[in-house]
Amino acid sequence: MNALAATNRNFRQAARILGLDSKIERSLLIPFREIKVECTIPKDDGTLVSFVGFRVQHDNARGPMKGGIRYHPEVDPDEVNALAQLMTWKTAVADIPYGGAKGGIGCVPKELSTSELERLTRVFTQKIHDLIGVNTDVPAPDMGTNSQTMAWILDEYSKFHGYSPAIVTGKPIDLGGSLGREAATGRGVVFGTEALLAEHGKAIKDMTFAIQGFGNVGSWAAKLIHERGGKVVAVSDITGAIKNPNGIDIPALLTHKDKTGKLADFNGGDAMDPNEVLVYDCDVLVPCALGGVLNRENAGDVKAKFIIEAANHPTDPEADEILSKKGVIILPDIYANAGGVTVSYFEWVQNIQGFMWDEAKVNNELQRYMTKAFHNIKSLCQTHNCNLRMGAFTLGVNRVARATLLRGWEA
C-alpha cells in the first residue's frame, strides 16, 4: 500500500473514532492548493534542461503551512500529497501552530553540479515566491536538499520581499539557523523513546537497540542512545550492516564512517545482511530510512518488543496488524520523528523575534514538547481505547478539525 493510501486510511479511521461529520472529513482531505511549475535552467555546458517542481499546501487552519522540499527523481504528486497531509497531522500532534505542506523537484541531484543546483533552486523560488511566505508557507530541507539549498531560497525570496530569514528553516547557523536543528529529529526520537519506555517502567540503559538507516537521524539517535547507556547491537545503511551482541562502540563507528564513507570493514563488529537488521534480536527496533520496510513478508519475524518509527511510514498497514497481534508496541512516525519540525518551529520563532537561543534551551524545549505530546497521545488512547498510532491520529485530526470549525469553514 502506498503512502497516500495508508495515510488516507489512518485519517478515515481517526475520523470514524472521532465521529467527524462527513462534510468536514472530506474538506480536511482535499489540499488547500497544489502548485506545479516548470523550471528551465541552462546547464554548465550551455544546453537548456527542464524540470517539474511541485508544492502541495494541504491545510492552514492552525497556522502557516510547513514542510520539506525534496530533490529526487521520483517526486510524484501522490507522494507529495501524502507527505503534505502527514505534516498537517504531525504539526497538530506536536501542538505547534502550523499546517502541512510538501514540495519537490523531479531531478537527480547527484547528476547536477553545485551551480546547476543553485540555478534550479533559484528558478523554483522565482516561480513560487508569491505563494510561500513567513505567515503562509515555510519550506525546509528534505531528501536531496540541505542548509545550502535553504540559503539560496532565502536569498532569492529576499530579492522580492526584503530580508526574510523566517521564510525557510534548516538554514546555516550564519544565516539565522537554529542551534540543535542538525540533531533535532534524532534527539526527538530519543525523547519519544524515553517517554514510551518510562510508561512501561523501563529506561534506555536497560535495553538493546537495532537501528536501520545511519544517515542524519539514525546516526544521531545511535549516538544519543549510546550516551544514555543503551546498547546498540545492530546498525545498517545502504553501504552495509554491522552487528555486535555486546554493543557497538558508536563513537568509533561514526569516526569510521566519516573516514571511509561506509559501515563495512568496521572492526568493532561483524558484517551482516542489511535486511536482517529489521528482524535482529533486540528490545527496540528503530527504522530511520525509507518507507514500507516492515511488510507482511518480514513482520512475523520481528523480535523487538518496541518499534520507534523514525522514518516516515516504515510500517505497512498489513505489518501493523501482524505486529499488534504479536503485542509489539509501535511509536508512530507522526509523533516519533516530529523533533525536526518542532525545532524548525523554534528556528522560525527565533527569526521572527530576531533573538537567538542557546542550544541548551532548544534541547530543553524540545524535550518539553515531545514529552507533553506523548502524554496527550496516551490520554486519547485511553479515551478511545486504541493503539498509539490511532491515539496520535485522533489527537492531530481532532485539533485540525476544531480549528477549522472555530474559524468558520462553511462561510
Q: Which CATH number do you get for residue 113? A: 3.40.50.10860
364 is known to lie in a ligand binding site:
no
Both 88 and 134 in one domain: the answer is yes
Q: How far apart are CA 3 and CA 368, in angstroms?
A: 30
Which of 36, 102, 110, 305 is catalytic? The answer is 102
Q: Which CATH number do you get for residue 309? A: 3.40.50.720
Residue where a domain stops, chosen among 156, 175, 194: 175
Strand partners, 271: 242
Contacts of 267 (CB under 8 A, 6+ apart): none
Identify the three-state secondary structure at position 59.
Answer: coil
The three cell numbers locating residue 160:
522580492
The b/e string for 116-126 (b: 16+ C-beta within 10 A; e otherwise) is bbbbbbbbbbe
Structural domain span for residue 147: 31-175
216 is known to lie in a ligand binding site:
yes
4 lies in some domain: no
Q: Classify the C-alpha dihedral 61-63-64-69 as positive or negative.
A: negative
Both 384 and 242 in one domain: the answer is yes
Cβ(396)–Cβ(88) under 8 Å? yes
Both 354 and 409 in one domain: the answer is yes
171 is known to lie in a ligand binding site:
no
Q: Is 102 a catalytic residue?
A: yes
Residue length of the chain:
411
Query: pLDDT by residue for the chain (411 residues), tens digit each?
Result: 677 788 888 999 999 999 999 999 999 999 999 999 999 999 999 999 999 999 999 999 999 999 999 998 888 788 888 889 999 999 999 999 999 999 999 999 999 999 999 999 999 999 999 999 999 999 999 888 999 999 999 999 999 999 999 999 999 999 999 999 989 999 999 999 999 999 999 999 999 999 999 988 999 999 999 999 999 999 998 888 999 999 999 999 999 999 988 888 888 889 888 888 888 999 999 999 888 889 888 888 899 999 999 998 899 888 999 999 999 999 999 999 999 999 999 999 999 999 999 999 999 999 999 999 999 999 999 999 999 999 999 999 999 999 999 998 765
Cβ(336)–Cβ(310) under 8 Å? yes
Cβ(373)–Cβ(358) under 8 Å? no
Both 136 and 205 in one domain: the answer is no
Q: How many domains does the chain have?
A: 2
113 is known to lie in a ligand binding site:
no
Whole-prediction pTM value? 0.93
Both 91 and 185 in one domain: the answer is no
Both 259 and 358 in one domain: the answer is yes
Contacts of 295 (CB under 8 A, 6+ apart): 316, 318, 319
393 lies in some domain: yes
Cβ(233)–Cβ(242) under 8 Å? no
Both 206 and 73 in one domain: the answer is no
Residue 310 is given by DSSP the state -
